[in-house]
Amino acid sequence: MDFSFSDDEQRFDAEVVEYLAQERQHPDADVVFAAHHESHSQLASKPQHKAFMRRLAQRGWLGMSWPREYGGDAHEGLYEYLLNERLSQAGAPLVGKGIGIIGKTIIRHGSDDLRARFLHRIRTAEIDFALGYSEPDAGSDLASLKLRAKRVDGGWELNGQKRFSTSAHFADWYWVAARTNPDAPKHKGITLFLVDLSDPGLTVLEQKTMSDDRTNEVFFDAVFVPDENVVGEVDKGWTYVCEALDYERYTIYTVGALESKMNRIISWAKSTRRSGRPVVDEPEIRSGIAELATDLEVARMLTLRIIDKAARGEVPSNEASMCKLTLTRLHQKMANWMLDHCGPVGVLASGEPGAADEGRWEHSYRATVIETIGGGSSEIQKNILSRRALGLPTL
């Protein structure tokens, strides 16, 4: 497995770096480039973010790995990896759900009608999506979902509730898993739907989080979804959901954000003095930084293994779980380590006098807890790996 970048890939990476430097001069830069954002919150949630994504689309950088017949350039996934890593380093919105989860699933399993109606608008950043998976009694055990889809003339009527739909308050379309056959085993009888979020039968209520980011509860009251908005085959949705979650686990969580944190940790250690000498000279600090740097390199190699497999047209299932588990735990480890070593000023929030690194680590400590849950909790990733990778029995 060769992890070196080709001349073309290096040129593209340099082009992205140069472009982002130009974008920092844009009037919207203070909104687009948010240094305190964690990986899960780098969403195109504001008009300035959406405009930024449209500018990326105009450069042909959205859907680069899609087949040419669907508007892509058939580039290897490494190009999207390089783009997302640079975006995450800069704190900009990521190329996420629409391209990697929704788009690729529609390409693989959607009807010709769905491809015609959605793929171009995804690639040009005209529309955004929210994911409708989790429910009050179906979070980690997603197959226990109860949102009911009942067959009616010309389509389906959906009734029930979703929870933790982070983008539902600003997205245009809802990617929803619902139960179409309540008599089937729980991993069967599930179907994927595309639901218009402007439907009057939907009610979106804010859920506050410990990280200050917004997520949502969504209530369905006789929401009609036409047959043409069914994704793939009826009752086969569990397979598509699992595949889409694999895409999510390696498109939302990036190494670039960890690299930015690592640089801030090193900068803090060099610039902070205790007992008349730089903190970086303390053996315990040097040892801790070396351990974090080693963990970061492991995370980078796991990510590149995913890109290598995806480039061969495969869905990196086990690799995605390894990567999601490793990256989110490392985000948490860095935040914990910094709070341990910053002292009392480490727990001061942004804007408070004397806050370490402008309150970055107090916020990161709260936000990284959520990262270990979204997209499938750390415990779920361990279960997936124990069964799929190690072949251990299910108790």
Q: What is the CATH number of the domain that holds 194?
A: 2.40.110.10
pLDDT above 90 covers a percentage of the chain that reads 59
Domain boundary among 206, 238, 270: 238
Provide the 8-state DSSP code for 258. Answer: H
Residues 309 and 365 in one domain: yes
Residues 175 and 261 in one domain: no
Around Cβ 367, how many Cβ atoms within 10 Å? 23
Residues 20 and 66 in one domain: yes
Provide the 8-state DSSP code for 389. Answer: I
Residues 259 and 374 in one domain: yes
**Is 251 a residue whose pLDDT tops 70?**
no
> Is residue 323 assigned to a domain?
yes
Residues 37 and 60 in one domain: yes
> Is residue 271 assigned to a domain?
yes
> Is residue 338 assigned to a domain?
yes
Residues 342 and 369 in one domain: yes
> Is residue 148 assigned to a domain?
yes
Residues 15 and 80 in one domain: yes
Dihedral, CA atoms, 226, 231, 234, 239, nearest 10 degrees? -160
The better pLDDT of the pair 79, 3 is held by 79
Question: For 57, how many CA atoms within 13 A lie in the half-sphere containing its CB?
Answer: 19
Report, as an integer, the average pLDDT of 163-175. 94
Residues 231 and 265 in one domain: no
pLDDT for position 307: 76
Q: What is the CATH number of the domain that holds 52?
A: 1.10.540
Prediction pTM value: 0.87
Dihedral, CA atoms, 137, 322, 95, 1, nearest 10 degrees? -160
> Is residue 243 assigned to a domain?
no
Residues 234 and 266 in one domain: no
Report, as an integer, the average pLDDT of 12-33. 95
pLDDT grade for 370, boundaries at 50, 70 and 90: confident
Tally of domains in the chain = 3
pLDDT grade for 371, boundaries at 50, 70 and 90: confident
pLDDT for position 249: 52
Question: Which alpha helices (DSSP H) does 3-152 contain, by range?
Answer: 7-23, 29-32, 47-58, 77-90, 104-109, 112-114, 120-123
The mean of the pLDDT values for the chain is 89
Residues 28 and 82 in one domain: yes
Residues 208 and 269 in one domain: no
Residues 385 and 260 in one domain: yes
Q: What is the span of the domain harbouring residue 23?
A: 7-95
> Is residue 86 assigned to a domain?
yes
Between the two ends of the chain, the Cα-to-Cα distance in Å is 35
> Is residue 30 assigned to a domain?
yes
pLDDT grade for 306, boundaries at 50, 70 and 90: confident
Q: What is the CATH number of the domain that holds 310?
A: 1.20.140.10
The residue behind tokens 């949705």 is 237
Domain boundary among 76, 95, 114: 95
User: In the chain, at which residue ranges do the beta strands (DSSP E only) sit?
Assistant: 129-132, 148-152, 155-163, 173-179, 190-196, 202-208, 214-226, 230-231, 273-274, 277-278
> Is residue 159 assigned to a domain?
yes
User: In 275-318, at which residue ranges do the beta strands (DSSP E only) sit?
Assistant: 277-278
**Is 40 a residue whose pLDDT tops 60?**
no
